[in-house]
């Protein structure tokens, strides 16, 4: 069994089901005691800004702010892709508490060790 789960979200409100699945899997994994690193890329980058997750709606899905709170309060990591942030003029100081901005080098360093499972949504 993987000791760490790295999840990359490549969709936001533009593909709500795929986006919600990624956040749900991350939150459930954290609640199950799995070490989780959730990477926000593309349109999902906006959800690392205060209030933006509350704007996301998908019927029969857990509210995104609750999932994010569960991930962060459970010790999960939330990272916005450096290039994605730059294209959207998002700076580290804009992010919700507990989120960070990091690039491909950090992503690769997280997914390469033994015992890591990477998922992309």
CA atoms of 89 and 95, how far apart (whole Å): 12
Q: What is the mean pLDDT of residues 13-32?
A: 97
Q: What is the DSSP letter of 96?
A: P
| Mean model confidence pLDDT for the chain | 97
pLDDT at 41: 98
pLDDT band at 2 (very low <50, low <70, confident <90, very high): low
Helix (H) or strand (E) holding 99: strand 99-102
Domains of the chain: 4-120 (3.40.1260.10)
With H, G, I as helix, E, B as strand and everything else as coil, classify residue 19: helix
Rounded CA gap, 46 and 74, in Å? 21
**Residue 1: which pLDDT band, with cuts at 50, 70 and 90?**
low
Rg, Å, the chain Cα set: 13
């Amino acid at each position: 069994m993987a000791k760490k789960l790295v999840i990359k979200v490549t969709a936001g409100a533009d593909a709500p089901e795929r986006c919600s699945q990624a956040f749900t899997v991350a939150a459930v994994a954290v609640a199950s005691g799995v070490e989780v690193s959730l990477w926000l890329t593309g349109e999902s980058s906006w959800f690392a800004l205060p209030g933006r997750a509350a704007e996301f709606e998908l019927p029969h899905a857990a509210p995104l702010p609750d999932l994010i709170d569960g991930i962060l309060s459970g010790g999960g990591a939330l990272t916005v892709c450096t290039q994605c942030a730059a294209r959207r003029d998002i700076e580290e100081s804009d992010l919700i508490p507990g989120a960070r901005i990091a690039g491909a080098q950090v992503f690769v360093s997280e997914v390469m060790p033994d015992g890591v499972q990477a998922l992309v949504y």
